[in-house]
Amino acid sequence: MTWEVEAVGFVEAQREEAKDDFWGGEESCIVLAEHLGEEALWGIDTFSHVEVLFFFHGVKPEKIVSGARHPRNNTSWPKIGIFAQRGKNRPNRLGSTICRVLRVEGKRLYVAELDAIHGTPVLDLKPVMAEFLPRSEVRQPDWSHEIMRSYWSTKD
């Protein structure tokens, strides 16, 4: 089955290409699509965080992984299924990041630490509510902490 999804906005950011690390300190702007008015953002600035769902538009279809691989192709990490990692080369090329809301100016939502490049189509925005966060302890393997060590660091 297939569905069509229309972007609700597009990312304006300094980064033109995706890199694996150093997303810390990034400030981006999500500009609402033409078919949406600024009222779609009313009240989002009363939340501290927003979940941004986006499309990895820079990933070529032939690069998509649907099985297992080593994260970042690093053989010192275990070979695991694509759904056990957050890589961009996934079947539907969907990304999701929780960002800090900085401000709203009309049809422009400014956020901190969105790991999406300039021009990225935004598919949805959802306010982060404590009641939707995990209600039990978060568990993850050691390699995943290692892979994230520099992800949210500032530029090298």
Query: Would 134 be classed as within a structural domain?
Result: yes
Query: Would 153 be classed as within a structural domain?
Result: no
For the chain, the three-class secondary structure string (H helix, E strand, C coil) is CCCCCCCCEEEECCCCCCCCCCCCCCEEEEEECCCCCHHHHCCHHHCCEEEEEEECCCCCHHHCCCCEECHHHCCCCCCEEHHHCCCCCCCCCEEEEEEEEEEEECCEEEEECCCCCCCCEEEEEEECCHHHCCCCCCCCCHHHHHHCCCCCCCCC
| pTM for this entry | 0.90
Give me the number of domains the chain comprises: 1
pLDDT digits (tens, 9 = 90+) for 71-108: 888 899 999 999 999 889 899 999 999 999 999 999 99
Q: What is the mean pLDDT of residues 127-138?
A: 94
pLDDT of residue 111: 97
Query: Would 82 be classed as within a structural domain?
Result: yes
Assign residue 94 the CATH number of its domain: 2.40.30.70
Range of the structural domain that residue 110 is part of? 9-147
Query: Would 15 be classed as within a structural domain?
Result: yes
